[in-house]
Structure 1
């Protein structure tokens, strides 16, 4: 096993129930979570903020690379997917510690130009108990060529056993960005998203899609032990989508039938 590419970064945070309740309300749920309750899957994204001065932000609103995430020389960042292994419940109202390392960083040429792939590993502890391990896969790309054709997105399956409609708007994207302290401008700055990064509107967060799928999986299958997801095409804030499940396989289908995310619980 190769060594990690960065020294561990440790952060501690109290898992405030008020923040989890705000997330419930943003997702259209009743605010029921209290101190001592188990944190719902993926709600740990609400904690362990890493604020930096504006002078230390990149043009996209994220902190500049070069620390935990190496500078791969490419400006556009996307959360491409991830894997989570749930060991023990994280409990609201108690302190938790996140230990983060850069596990891998590679660069190669893709169909649309150079790509860089970065994998971060996060371990979340309460006391001396490892509660959760998360692998976060990031992709960095060059700026889009306005004259280049858009690659065709994959087509989503239509043989699901369970389907749920889900809707997004600019307000939800702003609230999710605020709750997760995600400054990426593609989620709230429409001129930037269109004119700089070449999207058709505000981009729905990949983790927000994964959040919906995890909650759907938990409702259907019970407590999760592992969850993997991979983003395959962007979804815009003005588009409705369908959450789909067939057994333990899950996916997000856009309004035109394209596959936006695949996952397995």
Structure 2
């Protein structure tokens, strides 16, 4: 086997040496964080209720020193995550199994392990997919299992051909339920900043417009993929009194603070098929929820 390196590389054999690398962390599910998230979503907050679906992403932040951040705002690669020699990183998708309710005040342990690293060629050039498995436990009881997939790629060179991009009003509510199965989303700089703060996310594509446009070549600030997924899970949960059993999502294309977008849900007795699109029908994300 090749010698392990922390230098940027696209050597499949070297990168696969990161498979099995693990990281453990512990966090208390503080109600104050939940109250702040509810404020972001313009929702009432009741700390006696269990943690809403996907709000576990508000916890377990790695305390990376500022001097250890890369230019894009992420932690420098080569420690837990492999040193992939591609400049841009995004969430590609994931799947979550809700095993037991999590309550505010619970102390939860998270065990994270890199389960796969794959290099592929796409239309935009080389891609590298990293799959991380997270297991959350409470006093040795499994409460949530997640597979998270990250994609690394060459600089986007994003082209919004035929897309009409308009700055939206900053004071608008983040979302509005037009019908029980249709949610309209109005992004704002303030909402993106607040979600970045809640998730301790320093990725510059969400708050540094000059970096977005000059380096990543995006037309605006990028709306967080996890926040899109959270809104989809919120719509799915809104029609059921029982909690979600599982949620799976796949990111298709980015959406920006200059775009309104809509989430539509096709619901059966125990399953939801959700799709998020821009107003010109560009698909942003697809998801499936089960209860």
TM-score w.r.t. length of structure 1: 0.90
Verify the 8 A CA contact 1:115 1:140 in the aligned structure 2. yes
| Distance (whole Å) between structure 2 residues aligned to residue 133 and residue 152 of structure 1 | 40
TM-superposed CA distance for 1:161, in Å, is 8.3
Question: After superposition, what is the alpha-carbon deviation per residue over 1:141-169, rounded to whole angstroms, capped at 9, x for unaligned?
Answer: 112458xx66899xxxxxx9821212110
The residue that corresponds to 1:31 in the other structure is 45
TM-superposed CA distance for 1:38, in Å, is 1.1
Gaps of 5+ in 1: 154-159
The residue that corresponds to 2:139 in the other structure is 127
Verify the 8 A CA contact 1:4 1:101 in the aligned structure 2. no
- Candidates 213, 218, 228, aligned match of 2:237: 218
* Total equivalences in the alignment: 254
Verify the 8 A CA contact 2:29 2:106 in the aligned structure 1. yes
Question: After superposition, what is the alpha-carbon deviation per residue over 1:214-263, rounded to whole angstroms, capped at 9, x for unaligned?
Answer: 11111113311111001111111121111110121001111211110000
Question: After superposition, what is the alpha-carbon deviation per residue over 1:163-187, rounded to whole angstroms, capped at 9, x for unaligned?
Answer: 1212110000000000001111000
The residue that corresponds to 2:195 in the other structure is 176
TM-superposed CA distance for 1:67, in Å, is 1.9
Question: After superposition, what is the alpha-carbon deviation per residue over 1:3-56, rounded to whole angstroms, capped at 9, x for unaligned?
Answer: 98133211001110000110000111123224xx31111111111111211221
Higher RCO structure, 1 or 2 (CA under 8 Å, sep 6+): 1
Gaps of 5+ in 2: 1-15, 164-178
The residue that corresponds to 1:252 in the other structure is 276
| Distance (whole Å) between structure 2 residues aligned to residue 68 and residue 234 of structure 1 | 26
| Distance (whole Å) between structure 1 residues aligned to residue 220 and residue 21 of structure 2 | 37
The alignment status of 1:237 with 2:257, answered yes or no, reads yes
Between 1:61-70 and 1:174-183, the stretch displaced more is: 61-70
- Candidates 55, 66, 72, aligned match of 2:84: 72
Verify the 8 A CA contact 2:261 2:279 in the aligned structure 1. yes
Verify the 8 A CA contact 1:98 1:122 in the aligned structure 2. yes
Distance 1:151 1:69, change over 3 A: farther
| Distance (whole Å) between structure 2 residues aligned to residue 239 and residue 150 of structure 1 | 11
Considering only aligned residues, what root-mean-square deviation do their CA atoms show, in Å?
2.1
Distance 1:120 1:152, change over 3 A: farther
The alignment status of 1:136 with 2:181, answered yes or no, reads no
Verify the 8 A CA contact 1:82 1:136 in the aligned structure 2. yes
The alignment status of 1:263 with 2:287, answered yes or no, reads yes
Detail structure 1 runs of 4+ shifted over 4 Å in the superposition: 149-153
| Distance (whole Å) between structure 2 residues aligned to residue 64 and residue 212 of structure 1 | 29
The residue that corresponds to 1:157 in the other structure is none
Question: After superposition, what is the alpha-carbon deviation per residue over 1:40-81, rounded to whole angstroms, capped at 9, x for unaligned?
Answer: 111111111112112211111010111221112111000111
- Candidates 227, 239, 255, aligned match of 1:208: 227
| Distance (whole Å) between structure 1 residues aligned to residue 39 and residue 191 of structure 2 | 10
Q: Which SS does the other structure have where 1:196 is aligned?
A: helix
The residue that corresponds to 1:198 in the other structure is 217
Verify the 8 A CA contact 1:161 1:246 in the aligned structure 2. no
